[in-house]
Amino acid sequence: MQVLTPANEVPPGAHRRGGGRSAASAIAALMLGGALAGCGTAPPATTPIATTPTATTPGAGASEASSPQGPSSCTAWLAAQQRGEGRLYRVDAATSQVRIHVFRAGRLAKFGHNHVIGVERLTGQVFVPTDGIAGAGVELAFRLDDLAIDKPEWRAPLGPEFASTPSASDVAGTRANLLRAVDGERFPVIAMRSTAVAGAFPVLALKLAVNWHGQTRLLDVPVRVVRPAGDAGRSVLRTQGALVLRQSDFGITPFSILGGLLAIQDELTVDVDVAAVPAVACD
């Protein structure tokens, strides 16, 4: 997929100076337009996991769940809740926070920006067993076209490497080119589902199946889970963790131009702070 704009066109986010465009602003615009850019056609070295669903069985040891391409586990979790085996929680998007950090690279990196991308409409559910971790699980998803990009209040606390302030046109250009680069119309959703849970509350190790760009990969993700105190039927469950996504693992070639002088790093860091409230039905 071609993501670079031809030289006789001004890409979204580019700045004009007089009757033309400066080389620096053109490079900066291309950098902004290329966040998470590039669609690889060759399969990555990582082997995809099987996409055949695996049923969740509360009480059978480590938690097992189906892949992100399989049906939701929520129905099984709801049934387990009705049997008194645990509690189902629904993600509260308004009080949850997911931040994806995208980093510039290359000798001309100073002409670009690091980016902070926010997930503002996270959906999903969490199941917490009454005792132990057997049967615990989580499902999360968000749409790429719902992402927010480079809000000043997100960038400011991160220090000088995020001190620049992209303009509104820069942000619009980043959004348009990002969705085009990762084929967001064809693959509009990133979905995550635990396939196993180990550890002990409040510190757990999730085996997380992540589906992005038509590829599913397994990641090991440590999380800290704060179980509700008191009336669990009214309290909020909080889960915090972090993970690294490598674009190349999902068949995406990290953006670069000018022979790599200006590029995006392969690694994206993701900070997750999920709040969930008790649920009595599946979404």
**Domain locations in the chain as residue ranges:** 23-278
Mean pLDDT over 226-252 rounds to 85
What percent of the chain shows pLDDT beyond 70?
73
Q: Note the pLDDT tens digit of each residue in 97-147.
A: 999 999 988 787 787 788 999 999 999 999 999 989 999 999 999 999 899
The CATH number assigned to the domain with range 23-278 reads 2.40.128.110
pLDDT at position 63 over 90? no
What's the pLDDT at 170?
86
Mean pLDDT over 261-278 rounds to 92
Give me the DSSP letters along 37-96. Answer: -----SPPSSPPPP-S-----TTSSS-----TTS--SHHHHHHHHHTTSEEEEEE-GGG-
Mean pLDDT over 46-75 rounds to 46
Query: pTM above 0.85?
Result: no
pLDDT at position 187 over 70? yes
Per the prediction, the chain carries an average pLDDT of 77
